[in-house]
Amino acid sequence: MTAAGTAFPRRRVGWIALAAVVVVALGFGLTDRSGPTTPDARAHRLAESIQCPTCDGQAVADSDATASRFIRGLIEDRIADGASDDQIRDELADSYGENILLTPERSGVIGLVWVLPVAVLVAALVGIAFAFRRWRGRSVVTASAADRALVDRALDEMHTTS
């Protein structure tokens, strides 16, 4: 088997491996990992996604401000009442404004903010791969004997006139 015959399957394996990594990464990133099952863990996770209304960019879970303690208590009460995370987040956004949410929803138009950069990156990588493939596929141009003779004559004329 020639070297060219072994290069194609190796290249194909590399592309297949790259595609598998991209698919697994996208699948992992898009799956919902709503892990916390205890009410305390759920309340803490939710408090980490809510901004303290009196602090500058600090999550309710990390702040000791009075407003943060109140919101943490409200979250715990609403969880005990059986409210979903989305309901609690919506109630807080209605009360304090959308800026209180540290992590926006991942659906609708806002979802494009999360998906678009990944899609652009994948498209760019595919474009680069096609460009490299096209550049690699170009044949090497060699000069013919007539071309060499023409260059030699031009060089001789340059040397004789100088």
Whole-angstrom Cα distance, residue 113 to residue 104? Answer: 10
Residue ranges for the chain with pLDDT beneath 50 = 1-3
Whole-angstrom Cα distance, residue 74 to residue 88? Answer: 9
Residue 73 vs residues 37, 79, 88, 132, 144: alpha-carbon distances, Å: 18, 10, 12, 57, 85
Strand partners, 51: 59
What's the confidence (pLDDT) of residue 1?
46
What's the confidence (pLDDT) of residue 8?
57
State in Å, rounded, how far the first CA of the chain is from the last one.
Answer: 55
What are 28-53's pLDDT values in tens digits? 766 656 555 788 899 999 999 999 98
What's the confidence (pLDDT) of residue 133?
80
Q: In terms of Cα–Cα distance, which of 46, 45, 48, 66 is closest to 57? A: 48
Determine contact, residues 136/82, Cβ cutoff 8 Å. Answer: no
